[in-house]
Amino acid sequence: MLSVILPSYNEEQMIAVAARTVTGILDEAGIAHELLFVDDGSRDKTWAEIRKASETNPHVVGVHFSRNFGKEAAMFAGLEQAKGDCCVVIDCDLQHPPEKIVEMYRLWEEGYEVVEGIKEDRGEESGFHKFASLSFYRLISKATGLDMSSSSDFKLLDRKVVDTLNKMPERIVFFRALSFWVGFRRAEVSYRVQERTAGVSKWSTRSLIKYAINNIGSFSSAPLHLITLLGVLMLVTAVVFGVVALVQKITGTALGGFTTVILLLLFASSVIMISLGIIGYYIARIYEELKGRPRYIISELCGRDAE
Ligand code: UDP
Ligand code: MG
Q: Running DSSP on this structure, what letter comes out for residue 227? A: H
Q: What is the pLDDT of residue 7?
A: 94
Torsion of CA 130, 133, 136, 137, to 10 degrees: -100
Ligand lying nearest the CA atom of residue 89: 1
Q: Is the CB of 108 under 6 A from ligand 1?
A: no
Q: What is the pLDDT of residue 94?
A: 85
Q: Are strands 298-302 and 60-65 parallel, antiparallel or unpaired?
A: antiparallel
Q: Is the CB of 9 under 6 A from ligand 1?
A: yes
How many A from CA of 201 to the centre of ligand 2? Answer: 6
User: What confidence tens digit (pLDDT) does each residue in 229-268 have?
Assistant: 888 888 888 888 888 888 887 887 766 666 777 777 877 8
Q: What is the pLDDT of residue 39?
A: 92
Residues 6+ apart with CB under 8 A from 56: none
Closest residue by CA, ligand 1 atom 21 = 201
How sure is the predictor about 125, in pLDDT bands with cuts at 50, 70 and 90? low
Q: Is the CB of 107 under 6 A from ligand 1?
A: no
Instruction: Point out the least confidently predicted range of 12-16, 19-23, 224-228.
Output: 224-228
**Counting atoms of ligand 1 from 1, which one is nearest the CA of 7?**
7
How sure is the predictor about 56, in pLDDT bands with cuts at 50, 70 and 90? confident
Higher pLDDT, 35 or 144: 35
| Average per-residue pLDDT for the chain | 83
Average of per-residue pLDDT across 183-192: 84
Q: 133 — alpha (psi -120 to 50), left (phi > 0) or beta? A: alpha
How many A from CA of 103 to the centre of ligand 2? Answer: 21
How sure is the predictor about 156, in pLDDT bands with cuts at 50, 70 and 90? very high
pTM: 0.74
How many A from CA of 4 to the centre of ligand 2? Answer: 16
Checking if the pLDDT of 306 tops 60, the result is no
Cβ(6)–Cβ(30) below 8 Å: no
Cβ(155)–Cβ(115) below 8 Å: yes
Q: What percent of the chain has pLDDT over 90?
A: 18
Average of per-residue pLDDT across 170-188: 80
Ligand lying nearest the CA atom of residue 126: 1
Q: What percent of the chain has pLDDT over 70?
A: 95
Residue 39: which H helix or E strand, with range?
strand 33-39
How many A from CA of 90 to the centre of ligand 1? Answer: 10
User: What confidence tens digit (pLDDT) does each residue in 98-118 have?
Assistant: 888 999 999 999 989 999 888
Pocket test for ligand 1, best of 6, 8, 9 (most atoms within 8 A of CB): 9
Q: Is the CB of 11 under 6 A from ligand 1?
A: yes
